Structure 1
Amino acid sequence: MEIGEIFSDALVYPFHNIKALVIYLVLGIILGIAVGGTIAGMAAGILAENILAVIGSGIIGIIIAFVLGFIITGYELDIVKFGIERDPSSPGIDIVRQFINGVKYFVVYIVYMIVPIIISAILAVVFQHWLSSIISAIVSIVFALALMMGQCRLAKTEDLGYALAIGDAIGDISRVGIVKLALFIILMFIIVFAVFFVALIITRWNSTVGGILMGIVGIYISFVIARATGLLYSDV
């Protein structure tokens, strides 16, 4: 698909399933409340010098945040899959399976991010000058793009091993096309920046309305990115 077709489809896609958009918007708001409540609880515990309150608030908040985050990520993977298949419909809500897939993506993310960190550390020891920084930057960009491909591979098959085939994921980059990928990322950045900029202006005008709008925009943009990513990968 051409870039224009991808974005014209992705920008309206979230409205194809208002029910899922609303449900995951509520989950996103709860996630935000959980994180905010955790920070507030830990701060109160620190001020009261109550270490048990700090630990308890931290553990409970982290568990809630991870559970909700994995569920939302799992649904986004299904959106990616529907994009790969160019299916105009929206995924159903399957909390358990989507939670498991969210956990799988977390593993994929850690693996793809830790490899360039290790490589960069080794380069810093070997070269110890500006060359290591340039090579590290290139490696980081390649693995960030490979992570996008790994996400698509996981969405397509739900197979963790298939998603973690880093060499094949890097090969997918060339199959999608470097120029197409670069253009995709630039346009996505512009769209995300523009949407959040408008939401931020409204937030400065009215913090309550703006806060709600930011939550809506966050979920909407995550759906758009997932759909666009799937469509981008559909030609591989």
Structure 2
Amino acid sequence: MTRLVVTITSDLFDTPEQEVSVRENLPVRTLIEETIKEFNLPSDALYTLRIQSSGKLLDPEKTLEQQGVKTGEQLSFSREHRAARREAVLGSNTSRIMLSTNRRPYLREDSRGEIFNIDFQPAIIGRPDHSNPASREFLAVNLEGYEGAKSVSRYHARITESQGQFYIESLAEHNPAYLNGQIVRVGEKRMLNSGDKVRVGQISLTFGLRQATTQSIPNRPRTAQINNSPDASS
């Protein structure tokens, strides 16, 4: 079994540089978890690893080998506090804002046809963050229980409205959303039109609009499905 010798650097360590020997097929998530344990770091934060030379963020669900990490590489280990994470996901909003436009958006999950009405912004697409129950207030499209749900990040994407037009943004840098087959990069805001196809992880959704004066399309019952796909938990 091939091993890699890499240097992990962080201002969270007493000694900023730590040389470690790891399996090349080690998932990045496992390396992050072991680093947290080794240095007794707080668990109330999101930790990331980047290749220092390129700044590339490593996907926690993939192995070091899959992401091109080589012996001698320097990896930057950093912590993002929950407050910073909330700011990145919700912006300056401390509470959700109800939509006041004449058109109301919804997303339809394509495999089962369930409708998710979107009546507020920012509207998060993802899965519940069980460690942060308050965040569920903004979770408009909860994909937990669907086949392929573990490929969906907890904060995967968000929909916002401006001057009657709706937009989608990716929130997970290593696991972006796709609009009509095109990647939506973090920091990019893409306009949504009725009939557009949105993909988050392995789940496909269709965006639609209805008049605000009409009755909301009822959400359909859901049946949880067991699957064994990797968990994209960011």
TM-score by length of 2: 0.31
More helix by share: 1
More strand by share: 2
